[in-house]
Amino acid sequence: MELRLDGIRHAYGETDVLDGISLDIPSGRIVCVIGPSGCGKSTLLRLIGGLERPTEGQVIQLGAPPAGSLNPLTYIFQDFALLPWRTVAGNVSLVLEDHPVSRSEREDTIADVLIRTGLIEFRDALPKNLSGGMKQRVAIARALAVRPAVWLMDEPLSALDAQTRELLMDDLVGLWSREPFTAIYVTHNLAEAVRLGHRIVVLSRRPGRIREVIEVRAPLEARKTADPNLEAHQRRLWSLIREEAEAADRELVGG
Amino acid sequence: MAEARIGQPATGEVPFRGGGFRPRPVRYVGVTVFVIVLLVLEWGTRAGWISNLTLPRPSDVALTLWRLAETGLLWDHLLPSLGRFAVGSAMGATAGIALGIIIGLFSLARAGLVPVVAAIFPIPKIALLPLFVIWFGIGEGSKYALIALGTFTPTVVATYGAVDNVDRTLIRMGQSFGLSWASIVRKIVLPGALPGILSGLRISLAIAIILLTAAEMIGARYGIGAYVLEAGSLYDLERLFAGVTILSVLGVTVNWILAKIEARVLAWRA
């Protein structure tokens, strides 16, 4: 299953936040979307997942989602969005309970995704007792449980410290290498973009327009943190985004 | 630079200036304060610098309470009061939570009902007692109604406030995983609103105790309120204070039970 964004424009009242966004999301690839703060990256993701309606244009699903996918478009949120009153296993269970899966099947799925994310020994812990990195792993396990066709990742590592971020990037690369998934990965962190993106879409500041699309060819598993190739990409992205970021920084909020 | 400030040595340990502003539990102090106040009152009334027209002797109040319990009269007054409190506040709290959730979930209900609740809220419910006596009779009905109405309004306000305060990102999460509306309400909105509802109940139940006493002052033979009213009109300070002590203990007990419930069902809070 692929996604196609066709001439998307979005406005909140009088303010245009996105304009003329047309983009293809190919199957089995990670598309990173970067841009200065307030350029509508997160809005774009909400439009793609159907949490908001675009003012103009449409998001088109090409082809059927793979059989067995319970929730084709699945989010990973920046603030994890875990229910604090449910345990790790309970949070995964939540997204399965509305689907016609038997109790034992549900238990199997929960155990399977918790093993894949290294959380099985924490299955009865409450979110308040988990570190930020562990919380985001729970959110990843929850997403795995519904077998998404496309992952919609909204700055998934931005609430974490730099070291935890490295660890989780490795986890994500590991998950993708074992079973390539399709993802749209919104971030403002250029290092994450060059590390995880097969394709990097650079947005301008508000109203967000596509400035450039960059392909990063190196295979995900081969990318290392201080790779000169990646650093070249990162410098190029920064030169593209720098002026925009400076201008965005000087804008009045809500003006 | 070293001489710039008088009284500050040039070398030495950096003075500590943090700490404080963080309440911590201190054991036995509460009980001690209670005991000291009672002892001072006892001494004052015995020594004569508190006239026995101003305050009764604590030991006499205790004796009155003891006799009340011994003669069984305590239960004759306490049981009807507890029944009225339980029935009235249960009706008011149940209706209040139900309506609060409806207001929290449906914009139409909110637009229509919030002004009505806001108009009822500030009415001193005791003023309506004569009306309730006409509507529901002089018996238990009017007492239930008064307590129920008194608990109802603060519960409604606390409940819809609690529903409004449920983290919207959790609701969006539920929607993004395709949860049904009913599941979102039952598994996300209600548990998320529970802390706010429980803290609202603390206020509602305190109001219920106040209204219980007021209701029993009109047309009740038995009940703590009737007992206090009778003692007051005879200027029998020992019995008046015995009744007030029972009401205070009732309030503290209700609060303690609620605290236990909160500790149990809200263990997930950080």
Residue A245 belongs to a domain with what CATH number?
3.40.50.300
In a domain, A71, yes or no: no
The Cα of A71 is separated from the nearest Cα of chain B by a number of Å equal to: 6
**Listing from the earlier edge strand, what are the strands of the sheet with A150-154?**
A73-76, A150-154, A182-186, A30-34, A199-203, A210-215
- The reply to whether A28 and A50 lie within a common domain is yes
Average per-residue pLDDT for chain B: 91
- The reply to whether A157 and A227 lie within a common domain is yes
Asked whether residue B97 carries a pLDDT value surpassing 70, the answer given is yes
- The reply to whether A241 and A174 lie within a common domain is yes
- Specify the pLDDT at position B6: 63
Q: Is residue B158 a contact partner of residue B197, using CB atoms and an 8 Å limit? A: yes
Q: Looking at A118, A148, A178, which one is the last position of a domain?
A: A148
- The reply to whether A177 and A212 lie within a common domain is yes
In a domain, A78, yes or no: no
Distances (CA, A) of B123 to A219, B5, B120, B153: 71, 61, 6, 10
The partner residues of A215 in beta bridges, in order of sequence, read A199
- Specify the pLDDT at position A220: 82
Q: What is the β-pairing status of strands A199-203 and A30-34? A: parallel
- The reply to whether A60 and A177 lie within a common domain is yes
- The reply to whether A38 and A105 lie within a common domain is no
> What is the residue-wise DSSP string for A173-216?
HHHHHHS--EEEEE-S-HHHHHHH-SEEEEEPSSSB-EEEEEE-
- How many helices and strands in chain A, by DSSP H and E? 7, 9
The partner residues of A15 in beta bridges, in order of sequence, read A12
By CA distance, what is A82's nearest residue in B?
B170
Q: Residues B151-208: pLDDT tens digits?
A: 999 999 999 999 999 999 999 999 999 999 999 999 999 999 999 999 999 999 999 9
Q: Residues A100-121: pLDDT tens digits?
A: 989 999 999 999 999 999 999 9
Contact list in A for residue B190 (CB cut-off 8 A) is none
Asked whether residue B219 carries a pLDDT value surpassing 80, the answer given is no
Q: Is residue A30 a contact partner of residue A153, using CB atoms and an 8 Å limit? A: no
In a domain, A255, yes or no: no
Asked whether residue B2 carries a pLDDT value surpassing 70, the answer given is no
Q: Do A85 and B177 touch (CB under 8 A)?
A: no
Q: How many CB pairs under 8 A join A and B?
A: 51
- Specify the pLDDT at position B10: 80
Q: Is residue A184 a contact partner of residue A33, using CB atoms and an 8 Å limit? A: yes
The partner residues of A148 in beta bridges, in order of sequence, read none
In a domain, A72, yes or no: no
Asked whether residue B65 carries a pLDDT value surpassing 60, the answer given is yes
Q: Do B269 and A71 touch (CB under 8 A)?
A: no
Q: Do B170 and A71 touch (CB under 8 A)?
A: no
- Specify the pLDDT at position B178: 93
- The reply to whether A56 and A127 lie within a common domain is no
Residue with tokens 């598994």: B187
- The reply to whether A176 and A122 lie within a common domain is no
- The reply to whether A46 and A164 lie within a common domain is yes
Q: Do B169 and A81 touch (CB under 8 A)?
A: yes
Q: Do A84 and B179 touch (CB under 8 A)?
A: no
- The reply to whether A159 and A196 lie within a common domain is yes
- Specify the pLDDT at position A254: 59
Q: Is residue B212 a contact partner of residue B84, using CB atoms and an 8 Å limit? A: yes
In a domain, A76, yes or no: no
> Chain B within 8 Å of A141 (Cβ-Cβ)?
no
Query: Which of A94, A131, A142 is the best mutation test for B, with the most CBs of B within 10 A?
Result: A94
pTM above 0.95, yes or no: no
Provide the domain limits for residue A209. 2-66+150-249
In a domain, A73, yes or no: no
Q: Do A85 and B268 touch (CB under 8 A)?
A: yes
Confidence of residue B234 (pLDDT cuts 50, 70, 90): very high
- Specify the pLDDT at position A205: 83
> Chain A within 8 Å of B71 (Cβ-Cβ)?
no
Q: Do A81 and B175 touch (CB under 8 A)?
A: no
Residues of chain A with pLDDT under 50: 255
* Average pLDDT over every residue of B220-225: 90
Confidence of residue B99 (pLDDT cuts 50, 70, 90): very high
> Chain A within 8 Å of B248 (Cβ-Cβ)?
no
- The reply to whether A99 and A206 lie within a common domain is no
* Average pLDDT over every residue of B17-40: 90
By CA distance, what is A98's nearest residue in B?
B179
Residue with tokens 């159907």: A50
Q: For chain A, what is the domain count?
A: 2
* Average pLDDT over every residue of B70-87: 94
Asked whether residue B125 carries a pLDDT value surpassing 70, the answer given is yes
> Chain A within 8 Å of B214 (Cβ-Cβ)?
no
In a domain, A79, yes or no: no
In a domain, A74, yes or no: no
- The reply to whether A165 and A238 lie within a common domain is yes
